[in-house]
Every structure is written in structure tokens, then in C-alpha cells.
Chain A
């Protein structure tokens, strides 16, 4: 019974393959779909698509930051140290920088404050620092970091 049923099914399967469409000339996958279903594809589609997929996959991959990387163990403390030293450098710079290098508008502001220097000592210091920090060149900060951070801290330690 089951054999008959199976044979019957086999017949129907063959029927579709052989006589239903009577169109199969080549049994390869693409041809099969083109011949029987009428599907077409653009010229060189598969080679172009392959490149696009590789670009998407490999580009996306480079954007991923590997949190398990061993290098991370060194990068985080290093970044924290640089951030700390940068902050210190900005505040400490007040004591070493030369006021005469500042633009006139800043010097005028500071002169206006000077008569009240002792009275408003704390305010002056912080305002002074705040104003001055705006005019610190990136190169000075970089140089300071290079000289101090890498030579004094990293190399000595």
C-alpha cells in the first residue's frame, strides 16, 4: 500500500519534472529557475553582489571595537592617565605661562581686576585660569604631554 502510494507520488513528481513544463534543458540550478520560472538576473550579478557583500561584511567588522582585546588592559589606564594629566596641565599652566603673550582684550580684563586682587583673590585666580585656558595652544598641550607624561612618567616608571 505504502509502496503504491510512494510510486504514485513519484509519478507525480516526475510528471512535473518531465511533462508539465517540458522546458527543462539543463538541470543546473540557475537554468532550472530561468527556464521554469522565467527569472532573469542582471549581467555579472553574482560577481558584483559578491563584492558588495564582502564590502559590507568586512567594513562592518572593522567598525567593531573588540572589548576582549588584551590591549584594552593597557589602553584604559593610559587614557585615564592622559585625561588626568591633561586636566592638571590646564590648571597648572596658569603659573608658568606668560601673561604678555595673551591678546590685548584678555590683558585689559586682567588689569581691570588687579586693584581688587587681594579682596577677590580666589575669584581672580579662577577667572584668570578660565580665561587663560581658552588661549592655550594645542601644540603647547601636546608638547607638555610629550615632555612630561611620556618622559617623566612613562619612561621613568
Chain B
């Protein structure tokens, strides 16, 4: 009983890390810089969904769509007014990283200004979860895990099978060549930001449903999301999802045997081990053409 519950606990945590890691990974892979703003998009989406659903009383599904729209619009705006001017000036990826950290602080600061520092909730009823195969799981948690699986498969198919996905992969491989063979770099960049923001938004709303919402929630997510994408193999989108699941599992199984205060430490010890012994991540051994990213 305990062990199956432990695995489920790990999967729930992992599913959250996985979604946000894929959001980071997508931008890193295609636009080639570590963008921290998905951490802020994550918070924005959670608060937007809360505002539309709880404050304005809209149906949850409508609130969900509106919140994702807000998140995507914000990501495109950030790209337009912050990243594009920097990229045009040929800023290096470190400058972009710092700029994105600034963006993260500004957006979360605005959220603090608008919504205040209190913790918000969607006010879902709290009941004992379903008992299945010796473990207990709630509806929201099932949604979380299923969503991350669907996103994983969906992203795989999108990158491999669709024209857009192939164009994105081409751009990931070599921007100059991609542009040379007629791929619209600007359009692909925007699409990358749209998908990345949508992933972060879905993660934010699900975390809001499962736990609660506060303006600080983005920070931990950045740490765990980045760790997950490094472990999976940075720049490899589906691998980032696997990385997320691994962290979730190892953290939870780890504190079963170790004092629970070490939970975060476990995740970061794994990160350091990977950085030293396997900096390309689990799936980073193959050449880029062979992997899907």
C-alpha cells in the first residue's frame, strides 16, 4: 500500500515539474536561451483563472480558456518588447537570461500589486480521494497526471508529424539554414512562445486547483522545472517531461527513507550529479538529428 502511494505521490509532483520543464525546454531548444519568464506565465495563468472563475463567476472551462489566452498574449508581448529587441542587437544568451529574470520579477511584482499577498484558492470541495489498487488519488490529481501524459504524447506527435513541428525542429538545428530554405523564423519563434506559454499556463492552473495560488509560487517552479529539464536533457522537449517525473519520484521515494527536511536537497543533489557526470541529461547521448528535439 505505502509503496504504490509513494509512486503516485511522486507522479503527482512529477507531472507538475514535467509540464513546466517542457515549457522551459521548448524555448531553450528552439530559441536557444534559458527563458525564466514561463515561471511568471505560470503564476499569471493561475491568477487569471482564479479571477475569471471565482471573482467574475465564469464557468471553469471558459475561465481556463481565457486564462491560457491571457498567458499566451503576455508571452507574445514579452517576446515583442523585451526579447526581440535584444535578439536583434545580437545579445548573447546570458543577457537574455538576465532579461528574462527581470521579466519574471516584474510580472510577479505586478501580480502582487493587483492581487495582494494573500493565498487564493478555487474553493473546490475537499473529500477523500478514490481508492484504487492500494493507493488514494483525487480527481484533480488524476487530471494532473493525465494532462501531462497527453501533453507529452501531443508534443511528440506535433514535433514529429506536423509541418510546423518539423519547421521548429529545423530551426532548432540551424536557424540560418532554416531561414534559407524558406522557414519563417519570426513566425516559428512566436509559435514556440505560444506553445511554451500554454504549457506553463496549464501547469499553473492545475497547481492552483491542486494546491493554492500565491504570487510566490513561480519561484520554486523555476528551480524544479530547470532541474527537470537538465536531468531529462536540456533542449530535448519530451525528455524534459521524463526529467520532471524522475525528480518527482526520487524526491518522494527519497524522503521515505531520509528525513523529510531533505526533500529539496535530494532534487538538487541529483541535479549536481547529472551536471558532473551526465551534463547532457538522460537522453542527451544521441546526436540532435536522432532525438526528436
A and B pair up: no
Interface of B toward A, CB cutoff 8 Å = none
